[in-house]
Amino acid sequence: MNQLLAYDFQWSFIWEHRGVFQHGLRLTLEVSGIAIVGAFAIGILFGAARAYRIPVVSQLAAVYVELIRNTPLLVQVFLMFFGLPEFGIRLEPFTGAWLALMIWGGAFNIENFRAGFEAVPLRYREAGLALGFGSIGTFFNVTLPIGGRIALPSSINTCVSILKNTAVLGPAIGFGELTNVAYSLDSVTFRSFEIYSILAAIYLVVVWTLSALIRALERRLALPEDRRARVVRPPIGEAA
């Protein structure tokens, strides 16, 4: 404990190498952004296929979900980055990074959106059909707006996990994201405490910011009954 209190934390070291952290953070955000958008697209498309029991597509989506959710992300990354070249398919680290995260996050979002779409009351869909929307029109005008809002809270965790899982990619495939550049800097400067303390602080700020933005969107898109449920009711015996 005394050694920790007596440790001379060199802020100047962090400031001198701020460019390294900025470069790694930029790549982390770029890869995460592409992967999150792609994972949402996969989740909506195949989540709808599973919710509506579309033949063949629903079964293929179920197999995809089981394979991805029941194998480690690192194994998937190795298979994609080192296994595919045996078939003549070579991916750049940047492309392989966002593609691996998108495939991983998409599997979780499929189940998030499937559950959301299935939670839409049948009477709402029947009302859409009665208004003459048709099956596709009912999905886009009724099921997607309501089911998407229901699925949004669980999708928040998937988005955050995609961002944090970028830390796995750097050492695995040599991609210069935030954790990898921090590790490389530590290997030549040996200022481990400063480097990894700042690394943890950056991740905290980024994850908190992402969570706050998505939760703000969640509140913005909340269903009317959910908004009413958030109203704090006065204790029994007090005037409303």
| Closest C-alpha among 158, 157, 153, 125 to residue 223 | 153
Judge whether 101 lies within some domain.
Answer: yes
pLDDT value, residue 239: 43
For residue 85, give every residue at least 6 positions away whose Cβ sits within 8 Å of its Cβ, in sequence order, or none.
none
| Closest C-alpha among 101, 73, 97, 92 to residue 180 | 97
d(CA 209, CA 240) in angstroms, rounded, equals 36
Judge whether 21 lies within some domain.
Answer: no
Q: Is the pLDDT of residue 58 over 60?
A: yes
The CB density around residue 85, as the number of other CB atoms within 10 Å, is 11
d(CA 103, CA 168) in angstroms, rounded, equals 15
**End-to-end CA, the chain:** 54
Comparison of pLDDT for 230 and 164, the residue scoring more? 164
Q: Is the pLDDT of residue 187 over 50?
A: yes
The CB density around residue 81, as the number of other CB atoms within 10 Å, is 23
Q: Which amino acid is at 61?
A: A
Comparison of pLDDT for 5 and 188, the residue scoring more? 188
Judge whether 17 lies within some domain.
Answer: no
pLDDT value, residue 186: 79
Ramachandran bin of 134, using left for φ above 0, alpha for ψ from -120 to 50, beta for the remaining angles? left
Number of domains in the chain: 1
pLDDT value, residue 3: 53
The alpha carbon torsion through 211, 217, 221, 222 (nearest 10 deg) reads 40
pLDDT band at 240 (very low <50, low <70, confident <90, very high): very low
Judge whether 121 lies within some domain.
Answer: yes
| 237: Cα within 13 Å, side-chain hemisphere | 0
What is the average pLDDT value for the chain, to the nearest integer?
Answer: 83
Judge whether 13 lies within some domain.
Answer: no
Give the CATH number, domain containing residue 141: 1.10.3720.10
Judge whether 16 lies within some domain.
Answer: no
Whole-prediction pTM value? 0.83
Q: Which amino acid is at 175?
A: F
- Express as a percent the part of the chain with pLDDT over 90: 31
| Burial class of residue 50, CB neighbours in 10 A (0-12, 13-18, 19+) | buried
Q: Is the pLDDT of residue 98 over 60?
A: yes
Average pLDDT (61-78) is 93
| Burial class of residue 23, CB neighbours in 10 A (0-12, 13-18, 19+) | middle
pLDDT band at 8 (very low <50, low <70, confident <90, very high): low
pLDDT band at 231 (very low <50, low <70, confident <90, very high): very low
d(CA 83, CA 80) in angstroms, rounded, equals 6
| 14: Cα within 13 Å, side-chain hemisphere | 14
Judge whether 18 lies within some domain.
Answer: no
Q: Is the pLDDT of residue 227 over 60?
A: no
- Print the domain residue range for 58: 28-220
Judge whether 212 lies within some domain.
Answer: yes
Residue 174 DSSP SS3 = coil
